[in-house]
């Protein structure tokens, strides 16, 4: 049996305060199977590691999740936490238009930090459980358009209902794996 190949992928998680970054990450990492009822602002950084097994391969991608506080007070730390990250997860609260509009600002910041690399990642709409009761919800089509424009994939999640919590993380792990495989192929093709 082959030893598993372990790839390490650093993921920056960005978004306005209180959009649900930590609730989403904690649920995915099984830190708590319960949705946190009380909001506690992330002070600077929440750091988690979670393994994702890549289907039909002997590869495990370890996601190093850097969940940074969205508050302005922590902006000076972003460069420190986001440098050398391979992927970004941009999050917004589907019931809060300002948090959606801020994704452009967060992406710009991230792009400056990882430059000259092109940002790769996902756009995640959180709190999709509020859809029915909130007329001001960001329309899915609008979010998909934004994601397509930046070559990101779009996901809608609800940490409260535990819906689609794993999907964006698994997508990032698979994207990282595919990228790695392409690089290996490119290198081996060049050395023949």
Q: Please report the pLDDT score of residue 44 as a whole number.
A: 61
Q: Please report the pLDDT score of residue 169 as a whole number.
A: 96
pLDDT beneath 50: ranges in the chain: none
Q: Please report the pLDDT score of residue 191 as a whole number.
A: 62
Cα–Cα dist 78/87, whole Å? 14
Q: Please report the pLDDT score of residue 60 as a whole number.
A: 95
Q: Please report the pLDDT score of residue 159 as a whole number.
A: 84
> Within its chain, how far is the Cα of 169 from the centroid?
6
Q: Please report the pLDDT score of residue 73 as a whole number.
A: 63
In CATH, 5-190 is 3.40.50.300: yes
Cα–Cα dist 169/191, whole Å? 33
- Please state whether the predicted TM-score (pTM) of the whole model is above 0.85: yes
Q: Please report the pLDDT score of residue 147 as a whole number.
A: 97
């Amino acid at each position: 049996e082959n030893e598993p190949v372990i790839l390490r992928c650093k993921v920056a998680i960005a978004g306005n305060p209180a959009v649900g970054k930590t609730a989403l990450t904690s649920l995915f990492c099984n830190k708590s199977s319960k949705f946190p009822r009380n909001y506690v602002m992330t002070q600077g950084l929440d750091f988690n590691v979670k393994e994702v097994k890549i289907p039909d391969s002997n590869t495990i991608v370890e996601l190093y999740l850097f969940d940074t506080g969205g508050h302005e007070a922590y902006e000076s730390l972003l460069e420190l936490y986001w440098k050398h990250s391979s992927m970004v997860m941009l999050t917004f609260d589907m019931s809060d238009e300002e948090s959606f509009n801020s994704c452009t600002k967060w992406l710009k910041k991230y792009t400056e930090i990882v430059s000259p690399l092109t940002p790769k990642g996902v756009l995640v709409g959180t709190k999709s459980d509020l859809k029915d009761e909130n007329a001001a919800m960001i329309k899915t089509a609008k979010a998909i358009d934004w994601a397509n424009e930046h070559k990101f994939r779009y996901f809608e999640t609800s940490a409260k209902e535990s819906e689609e919590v794993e999907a964006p993380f698994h997508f990032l792990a698979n994207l990282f794996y595919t990228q790695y495989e392409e690089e290996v192929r490119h290198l081996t093709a060049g050395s023949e």
